[in-house]
Amino acid sequence: MRKSRFSEDQIIAILKESEGGVETGELYRRHGIARACFYRWKSKYGGMELSEAKRLRQLEEENRQLKHIVAEQAVDIRALKAVVAKKW
């Protein structure tokens, strides 16, 4: 996955500017972001504080690792079932 050129604290600061009453078109131009990017950030980080966003990042990483472990175990189970199913 491509790393964003904006950090989480910058994203949250931009969203707080929007909540503060700055016109969204002005935000797009000032920060050089697309409309879709802004609304994607708003849906993901809207109403969050920086500590909550960092915790979200940690949970996403932990979830990714757990999914990887489950996938490895599924492959192992499938291989063991194939070995047991063979007639000797």
- SS (HEC) of 36-83: HHHHHHHHHHCCCCHHHHHHHHHHHHHHHHHHHHHHHHHHHHHHHHHH
Looking at residue 15, its pLDDT comes to 92
Section 49-67 average pLDDT: 93
Question: Does 87 have pLDDT greater than 80?
Answer: no
Domain boundaries, given as residue ranges, for the chain: 1-48, 57-88
pTM: 0.65
pLDDT digits (tens, 9 = 90+) for 6-52: 888 899 999 999 988 889 889 999 999 999 999 999 998 888 888 99
Higher-confidence residue of 63 and 22: namely: 63
Given pLDDT bands bounded at 50, 70 and 90, which one contains residue 88? low
